Amino acid sequence: MALASALVLAGTALAFTGKSAGNSQAQATAPKVALDETSVARDALPRGSFAPIVRRVAPGVVKIETTTTLKNISMQQFPGLNDPFWKRFGDQFGQMVPPGQLGPQREHGEGSGVIVTKDGYILTNNHVVDNASQVKVTLQDGREFTAKVIGRDAKSDIAVVKIDAKDLPVVPMADSDKVQVGDVVLAVGNPFGVGQTVTQGIVSAKNRGDMGIQDYEDFIQTDAAINPGNSGGALVDIDGRLIGINTAILSRSGGSQGVGFAIPSDLARSVMESLVQYGHVTRGYLGVMIQDVTPIMAKEFKLKEPMGALVGDVVADGPAAKAGFKDGDVVLEFNGKNVADSRHLKLTVAETKPGSTVPVKVWRDCSAKTLEVTVKELQATEQVAQNNQDNDTGTLNGVAVDNLNPQTRQQFNLPESVKGAVITEVKPDSAAAEAGLRPGDVIEEINRHPVKSADDAVRLTENVKDKHTLVRVWENGGSHYVVVDESKQTG
């Protein structure tokens, strides 16, 4: 009987507090940034030299200096000293300020930026200009400008600033989707404030995510040296075209150790256009809770390979619910693009224009089905999709369940809308505990069969021929799937 009842932002070395720059550019015309499809003739390059590319790019990369006023703070309150981002730079940042009470302070930070239009729109990182009271831009030719912050987006760590100038040198943009691992790249920026610096490397990886840096992550990884102060600078290809905005490094010392990350230019361009036109970033909203498809999940859902995003829950009255999505669907394609995993779907939905109707291919009951969904605009209180982590090990042995009644609902703070059997006990040394099942979780389905009571849960786990059991559980406001594997249980 199975059941009984160091990542670091590569920017300024100082954190900021205070009022952020305002934005009065709502409904402005978005800057037109065309993709550059030209190439530098390889035989025109001096042997072993990137000098022609640097001459093309360097004038369009600027130094950004920020000023922030801090009021009567103690060392313990000094911004950044307790922030794990800055601690990853090394202990030297914790020794920059003497102990004791400090009076009003004017703190300065430095970063980089990339000119992308001739009339002065500049891309940089949000963390470079966040909370800055003054932003100064210095061009390679020595000209200085006071810049206006047009808009900031913390979720992607992109910001747009504007200087009042004409006929400026720009760094042309490339289609970052076409970047390949192994491509030669140059990083241009202002590391440590020493002045404009160029480093060279290759694209080490693409589509890096789950780094814990920001909400929307799809980084280009490079071994080109990136250091504090490089934030907001340019990552360019061998043709001198912008493929990314340098953002962070993975380092134990605070300096470059060959693992740097850049925001793809396609994402940066999309965020910039929205910031300039609307004053904020508009993102698509689907209304589903999703998780990755593991190899064992793929087997349970009869998929040929572990790909796509598994829908664990559908938000009532959301776009997905209205389009006919069901829990247990696996999203294979969204608007004609293959969906590799749940993070990829989250990014793709976010980049979809609200109000547009797009086709979505899902895998349901061992066959593909196409749904038409009208994407809604993501509101501040909503999430495009929440990635639920699952664990495909363990069994349901050692788990006790009970019916949902007023007492158990009150005990575990469960809403009336949740149906199923509540888990009341999980043995600490059981495989179920290792799989992540906890008291208070509600079992909603077992092997795609609905669970309405504790008796249902017991019945559905008895005399199971397969050693794997697919369980849908409700936890912390949403549902997700877990595969319990009895074959891995020993003893």
Catalytic residues: 127, 157, 231
CB atoms closer than 10 angstroms to residue 169: 16
Q: Let me know: does 129 contact 163? Beta carbons within 8 Å.
A: no
CB atoms closer than 10 angstroms to residue 412: 18
Residue 472's Cβ-count burial label (10 Å; 0-12, 13-18, 19+) is buried
d(CA 162, CA 182): 34
Name every residue whose Cβ is closer than 8 Å to that of residue 463 and which is 6 or more positions away in sequence: none
Q: Let me know: does 363 contact 306? Beta carbons within 8 Å.
A: no
Beta strand 184-189 with 134-138: parallel, antiparallel or unpaired? unpaired
Helix (H, G, I), strand (E, B) or coil at 172: coil
d(CA 153, CA 274): 10
Q: Let me know: does 111 contact 10? Beta carbons within 8 Å.
A: no
d(CA 459, CA 345): 36
Structure-derived torsion over alpha carbons of residues 120, 125, 126, 127, reported in degrees to the nearest 10: -130
> With the C-alpha atoms ordered 160, 161, 165, 169, is the resulting torsion angle positive or negative?
negative
Residue 177's Cβ-count burial label (10 Å; 0-12, 13-18, 19+) is exposed
Run of H or E including 248? strand 242-250
Q: Let me know: does 289 contact 388? Beta carbons within 8 Å.
A: yes
487-490, Cβ contacts within 8 angstroms, sequence gap of 24 or more: 488/393, 488/394, 488/395, 488/431, 489/394, 489/395, 489/397, 489/431
**DSSP classification of residue 30:** P
Instruction: Give the residue among 57, 31, 54, 53 at the shortest CA–CA distance from 42.
Output: 53
Tokens of 383: 């999430």
Helix (H, G, I), strand (E, B) or coil at 322: helix
Name every residue whose Cβ is closer than 8 Å to that of residue 66 and which is 6 or more positions away in sequence: 12, 16, 108, 109, 110, 111, 128, 129, 132, 134, 135, 136
Q: Let me know: does 225 contact 188? Beta carbons within 8 Å.
A: no
